[in-house]
Structure 1
Amino acid sequence: MDAAVQVPAPSASEAALPEAPSEPDVGFAPEPTPKELTPEHARGYCTGRAELRTSRGDVNCYPYRCRAGRCLLRCTSRTDCAGADNPKEMAKYGWPLDCADSSNECYPLHPRHVTGPRH
């Protein structure tokens, strides 16, 4: 026994499509960061390993550390990089980074150097 299900037709207000916007929606476009809040120009005081507080707001220095009230812009040793210094710090500071001698840039350490050799 086949019973047909009766579904009422939508009312005129339910079936009406919304009007097309007069201008296309291009989505959210963030405003450009003020020059004073870029790692290259920001000055203030360090509130964390890679955080700098200025009078205009906070600046993220990652992948470099914050030192002496400014973001480092290159590294000469691993201690200039903002990642964790050891595996115990990873939850707070992220994956450990090292400094590339050739480019003076911080890069993620290979997992073998972070966790040690597997036995």
Structure 2
Amino acid sequence: MKTPKKVEAYFNMIENIKYENENGGSYAYIQFMAYSREVLKLIRPLKDSERFKESIDATNWLLNEYLGVRFTPRHKTIFENKMSETKQLFDSIRESYNEIRVRKHYAASYRVAA
């Protein structure tokens, strides 16, 4: 599986995490941290990905800080807000991959024409 497809698969897994699940809110936090770790590995080669990585790391750090506490409705709100921010971040990463794909397409067509 190529990297953009793998990244998209992990994005989908993260976007489908539900705070309200049979294992509780802490499980949602752990799922996010595990899947996002894979995303970080996959986007490492992406040019100009530093701000994406920093944002994901910051969310991981925040969620990790809350793992040791008793979960309340406040934690659900924090989780949902962070998920919303993360989805916007994923859209930016998708856009970056699309730009790369378009550039490669134009470069390939330019080589053929030359």
After TM superposition, the score normalised by the length of structure 2 is 0.24
Pair member with larger Rg: 1
> Given the two structures, how large is their TM-score scaled by the length of structure 1?
0.23
Give 1 or 2: higher strand fraction. 1
